[in-house]
Chains A and B, each alone.
Chain A
């Protein structure tokens, strides 16, 4: 065929049929071919430098020794180094000192947000808004005190308040009177409790825990701290258990809190996070700052 090629100047393959039917050469553009060969070279270079070919369980390592996990770990290390500047600084400081420094407070809040989410928010809510049976952390009503020291104690050692079940101690009439009085107190910020209620409150020993003024405070120390046993403040609108109402108050008076042998009793247990290495002192300190800044720190 090729010897009968009448088209010497033409880009044909030399395949000619019926004298004039021939196959033309239409090579891909040169730039395309260059790209093709460069791609192949790229693969060769890449597979020498980086992990590429799956051989057995592990791919060929590549002479640069790069791997995703190593890069990830290097990234983590960079973050740790960046954090270490701050962590070292707050390591030697008290929570109050951190709160006095806006920059360190910002760092601590950002860092403790994760701790709070992991350890606290299941019961107290993501923003410390509380849940039925679990206290609000964003208000200024503290069962055990809202200073940084008291918040630290609560996180570190946990808390467990107690209230006697009064179903065998008080008559039904007395329970009703006290429950109504609690509702009146809460709606009037402690001003409007009826005298009958106050009389029962004082004579039945409620003051032992709730205090003479029914605000949960047993004594005020010269340094401003207050002594409490975790009893609720009855003179504000904030409810410790189910929010607001006669039935809720009555239930708590009848069955008490954390009473052994009383199946209906209210459960109120804050676990100890300082024990068994659950949280380090540094982490507790950061959480103290975080909780203090939720809105009600004293």
Chain B
């Protein structure tokens, strides 16, 4: 245990204070200025973060003259390239959410908080924010000095550029978000003329402020105290999860490099206590204390440690991606022998299969049939039984359809109220009320299965069809 306050000598009481100090948690009382070092994991982090370029550039993709991906909320239509998804197909969204939730789980079970370390918008945006900070203000020592320096013209100019850039990124974040929900080029035209939707301004404002505060000020505090995933992901780790780990057996006891030492006569471990792993950590944790809630597994400490090890001529990998089993010398299970991997993969496959099925079987026309509940049937004066149905036609085509309705299932039936075709508006539900009559004597049971058919010809000449089973109800047969 480290001890900052050796006065007045070790005692039972002092041990308590030392322990309290050891367990001290980061509550944001000091800004963390992490050192940026080049390295393998640094490169991987940038590559992973570049996935977010899709978020900024995606809205400008075009497909057949319209925005390729457009979540058109006012019209309740969701365009994904060639496919148009209506709210009725939204069960696919739950599968998509399930897919990502399980993907998060499987990544975490296999390799720890990969999401947090490499992909999370909080850590990625913070990384970009601190990158700008370093570019303007210099390395951590210079930044700390500037923090404490009295306000001067120099400080004010640097700071205003920094905050301006942060706010600009916040604005672009909000603007790009809104661009997924409305035509992006139009948004650029209307936004600055004050002609865009009020919700667009509110959203952009919220995102700008949110990004600025979360990325500029709260930073790792978000991971420590606000983020539920950080806590959930922690419990998904097990003994076979590989995470950046300090090899305690190799590293301890720590000690400075002595001149002229040999591997044979060294009394210390490989850790030279240079504290570089702490200096580069964006959340300010000490990886040598083991896996902890503050560690987002970004692996930057691996880069730092390997560089130092190379300098002092010791083998790298003192901090490395390793599982608890591996470090303790137990046999490690390969991926395909872990039950979690199988269960998670099965759920992933099911969710993907469901989405694939959904997207490939999007029906252009859907028919729903509601049987009247009161009365279930009516006796007419010519002795036939009449049932009333409300047909709901959902037209997912971009154009209106003229739909012809018919019914089958009984030889003696008459369809009433469908002599004229129904005009089904695009992207909406059009109801139609129809009646089916069957002579009472022709009824074979209390219930008859019927099938309603809807058929329409598109402007292109393609015929779209839908059908729906229902029942015809007659009086009880005992009479």
Contacts and interface: CB of A to CB of B under 8 A. Distances in A.
Interface string B269-298: 000000000000000000000000000000
Contact of B381 (A20, A32, A130, A141): A141
Contact of B29 (A21, A30, A126, A141): A30
Interface stretch (B44-52, B357-365, B382-390, B449-457): B382-390
A31 B28 contact: yes
Interface in B1-39: 4-5, 7-8, 11, 13-14, 17, 20, 27-29
Contacts of B373: 127
A293 B20 CA distance: 80
Contact of B225 (A29, A102, A125, A127): A29
A235 B381 CA distance: 8
Contacts of B156: none
B321 interface: no
Interface in A9-29: 9-10, 19-21, 24, 27-29
Interface in A82-103: 102
Interface stretch (A132-140, A192-200, A256-264): A132-140
B406 interface: no
A127 B11 CA distance: 87
A174 interface: no
Given A20-B13, A102-B423, A236 B383 contact: yes
B379 interface: yes
Given A19-B8, A20-B11, A295-B388, A129 B374 contact: yes
Could you say which interface size class chain A belongs to? Answer: 35 or more
A219 interface: no
**Overall SS of chain B's interface:** mixed
Contacts of A129: 374-375, 378
Nearest to B417: A293
B380 interface: yes
B27 to A, nearest CB: 4
B131 to A, nearest CB: 23
Nearest to A10: B5
Contacts of B372: 127
B261 to A, nearest CB: 34
Nearest to B226: A31
B167 to A, nearest CB: 19
Contact of A126 (B7, B11, B374, B382): B374
A233 B381 CA distance: 9
Interface of B: 4-5, 7-8, 11, 13-14, 17, 20, 27-29, 218, 221, 225-226, 372-375, 378-383, 386, 388, 422-423, 431-433, 435, 440
